[in-house]
Amino acid sequence: MTTELHEAPIEATRIIEPPPKLSWREKRELRRRRRVWFEEILGWILVPAIIFGCYWLLNVGLTALGTSPAALMDGLKTITDAL
């Protein structure tokens, strides 16, 4: 003989609701925060590169003119000592 099992109907599990949509102000705040981080990282990379590039360009320019930064500093020191 077979026995019939009478089980309760399957209960629905909790439905996971999607997170609430962000308002335009919250989206704007997220964009600003990301932009600030991007600008900060970019600044930490670009500022030293620009400073190094200016120093290198100064050395190349002075070498092309046949002098050096040390020679310029010595000349300025001589001029200021004469005053």
> Is 18 within the bounds of a domain?
no
pTM of the model: 0.57
pLDDT of amino acid 77: 95
| Summary mean pLDDT of the chain | 89
Instruction: Give the confidence band of 49 by pLDDT, cuts at 50, 70, 90.
Output: very high
Counting the structural domains of the chain, the total is: 1
Residues whose CB falls within 8 Å of the CB of residue 22, separated by 6 or more in sequence, listed in order: 30
In terms of Cβ atoms closer than 10 Å to its own Cβ (0-12, 13-18, 19+), residue 62 is middle
**Domain that residue 43 falls in:** 27-82
> Is 4 within the bounds of a domain?
no
- For residue 59, is pLDDT > 90? yes
> Is 3 within the bounds of a domain?
no
| Host H or E run for residue 53 | helix 24-64
